[in-house]
């Protein structure tokens, strides 16, 4: 299509007529105004809140404070604390000896502050409880406490939770020399053999556990004991006596005079 002077004059007239329409101009004005308002709201309110641009928190000094007090102070400032354990007998014990980022640093709200706590004694280590943990995590927890893995063996008694730790030696909570070897046993899943669940109601927890283990059955105490677990009696069992289950099946035991809150104590 060829454009000549007459065509250009014609199309220019259409454009002028189109943009002289008051309804069109009003619509364009409203659209521009709306876009301007949206831009100002996003730029002045939404984005600063989303990115926290210009918002910062001054890190308080928590060095030489007990861990709990230091964590509480950081929480009040809108920060998160994470403990880093150090074992140095020549440094103050059970208090924060270093922090990162340092005091007076400006950080974003919610920033994680690493607090170095000196546990002091390097001669003994408390064995962590890794029962019911996956094998990989259990290994990590043992080694991070300055202990060594002696062996990870399949448990002779089946377990409903395959590849999770069922036993450990030394026991959890024991104080042992640093570098002590720990042996772990893990569950291999339920066995193929069926056994009949015995009636353990009326027995003490110790007697009930021994009775179940003699049949290659596991148990878990449900509820928070109100006294020594070994002497409290079982008033109810989760799986009725006489039921046929696979070896390694877990029987839930409910104790007498238990509190409402629940606390599982595994085999």
Q: What integer is the mean pLDDT of 119-140?
A: 84
Structure confidence at residue 262 (pLDDT) = 36
Structure confidence at residue 201 (pLDDT) = 93
pTM for this entry:
0.47
Q: What integer is the mean pLDDT of 45-71?
A: 76
Q: What integer is the mean pLDDT of 28-44?
A: 76
Structure confidence at residue 136 (pLDDT) = 92
d(Cα 130, Cα 181) in Å, to the nearest integer?
14
Structure confidence at residue 260 (pLDDT) = 36
Task: Give how far Cα 169 sits from Cα of 143, 175, 188, 201, 219, Å.
Answer: 14, 12, 18, 30, 19
Structure confidence at residue 155 (pLDDT) = 92
Neighbouring-strand partners of residue 117: 85, 96
The pLDDT tens digits for 138-192 are 999 898 888 999 999 999 889 888 999 999 999 988 888 888 999 999 998 999 8
Residue 62 has pLDDT above 90, yes or no: yes
Task: Give how far Cα 74 sits from Cα of 61, 101, 109, 112, 243, Å.
Answer: 9, 12, 10, 9, 54
Residue 231 has pLDDT above 80, yes or no: no
């Amino acid at each position: 299509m060829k454009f000549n002077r007459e065509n250009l004059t014609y199309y220019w007239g259409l454009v002028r007529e189109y943009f002289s329409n008051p309804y069109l101009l009003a619509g364009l004005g409203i659209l521009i105004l709306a876009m301007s308002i949206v831009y100002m709201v996003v730029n002045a309110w939404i984005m600063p809140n989303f990115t926290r641009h210009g918002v910062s928190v001054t890190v308080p000094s928590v060095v030489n404070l007990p861990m709990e007090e230091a964590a509480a102070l950081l929480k009040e400032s809108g920060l998160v604390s994470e403990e880093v354990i150090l074992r140095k007998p020549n440094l103050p014990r059970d208090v924060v000896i270093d922090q990162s980022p340092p005091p007076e640093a400006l950080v974003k709200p919610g920033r994680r502050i690493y607090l170095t706590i000196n546990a002091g004694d390097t001669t003994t280590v408390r064995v962590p409880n890794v029962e019911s943990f996956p094998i990989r995590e259990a290994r990590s927890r043992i080694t991070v406490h300055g202990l060594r893995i002696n062996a990870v063996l399949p448990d002779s008694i089946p377990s409903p939770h395959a590849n999770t730790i069922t036993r450990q030696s030394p026991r959890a909570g024991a104080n042992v020399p640093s570098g002590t070897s720990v042996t772990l046993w893990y569950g291999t899943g339920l066995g193929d053999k069926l056994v009949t669940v015995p009636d353990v109601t009326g027995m003490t927890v110790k007697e009930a556990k021994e009775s179940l283990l003699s049949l290659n059955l596991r148990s878990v105490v449900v509820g928070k004991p109100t006294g020594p677990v070994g002497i409290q009696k079982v008033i109810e069992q989760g799986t009725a006596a006489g039921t046929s289950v696979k070896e390694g099946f877990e029987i839930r035991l409910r104790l007498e005079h238990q509190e409402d809150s629940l606390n599982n104590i595994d085999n």
